[in-house]
Amino acid sequence: MKKNLFITLEGIEGAGKSTFIDFIEKFFVDEGRDVKKTREPGGTKIGEQVRDVLLKNENQKLTSDSELLLMFAARAQHISEVILPALSSGKVVLCDRFIDASYAYQGGGRGIEYSKINLLEKWVMPDLKPDLTLLFDLDVNIALERIKKRSDVDRFESEDLYFFEKVRESYLERAESEPVRFQIIDSALPLKNVEEQVRNVLKDIL
Ligand code: TMP
């Protein structure tokens, strides 16, 4: 059986990771691999219901702690129902956001101590770490311009420049502290150049 791979895509809103997940899926399918594409929060029937609670604009009263715990509730379900079974059967798992988003958004953005997030990480995923994390990085002003063009913005997308600056900073700090797992992709470049960067990274882990 071919080596299973767990790959996560991260970045602030507007950085384009959801566009590139299809490109990455095609890359692996062309290599003859079985791919499971999934996302967080969500990825399971239960997790998608939790996602609705987390993203709905009307839920402005949700506290930062509740937000963090709901992210991990959805993640616990996702790991046991989808991620571990797919990895055990030798698939390539592509996950649109994972644990690093909790550090960046709830830690960096909301200001929750990283040590609390780390406790939950150890509880919910003691033996699981992505093999590769692609961080789609983009200047926050450009990202916000892109978000503004969307017709519906969710509870996170309606946050301000300062929030996203914190999120981006936190992602970049994590990338710096784990330079082997993280690969930073410059999302400000034209589509073809971004695809080229992604392809070069993927070729290295085949
Ligand atoms: P998406 O827009 O990439 O689908 O993700 C939904 C939102 O959830 C996005 O704004 C980031 C946020 N999020 C967190 O705040 N913490 C997390 O742990 C995850 C997985 C996502």
- Note the pLDDT tens digit of each residue in 95-104: 999 999 999 9
Q: What is the mean pLDDT of the chain?
A: 96
Ligand 1, atom 16, lies closest to the CA of 102
Q: Is 41 in the pocket of ligand 1 (CB under 6 A)?
A: yes
pTM tops 0.75 = yes
- Convert the pLDDT of each residue in 36-95 to its tens digit: 999 999 999 999 999 999 999 999 999 999 999 999 999 999 999 999 999 999 999 999
Radius of gyration of the chain (CA): 16
Ligand 1, atom 13, lies closest to the CA of 101
DSSP secondary structure letters along 175-201: HHH-TTTEEEEETTS-HHHHHHHHHHH
How far is it, in rounded angstroms, from Cα 71 to Cα 137?
A: 22
Q: Tell me if 36 sits within 8 A of 85, measured CB to CB.
A: no
Measured CA distances, 3 to 30, 78, 171 (Å): 16, 21, 27
The mean pLDDT value for 12-25 works out to 94
Q: Is 40 in the pocket of ligand 1 (CB under 6 A)?
A: yes
- The pLDDT, as a whole number, for residue 3 is 80
Measured CA distances, 103 to 5, 63, 174 (Å): 22, 16, 9
Residues 6+ apart with CB under 8 A from 177: none
Confidence of residue 2 (pLDDT cuts 50, 70, 90): low
Ligand 1, atom 10, lies closest to the CA of 156
Residues 6+ apart with CB under 8 A from 172: 135, 137, 184
Q: Is 13 in the pocket of ligand 1 (CB under 6 A)?
A: yes
- The pLDDT, as a whole number, for residue 149 is 85
Share of the chain above pLDDT 90, in %: 92
3-state class (DSSP) for residue 132: strand
Q: Is 7 in the pocket of ligand 1 (CB under 6 A)?
A: no
- The pLDDT, as a whole number, for residue 206 is 85
The mean pLDDT value for 19-24 works out to 96
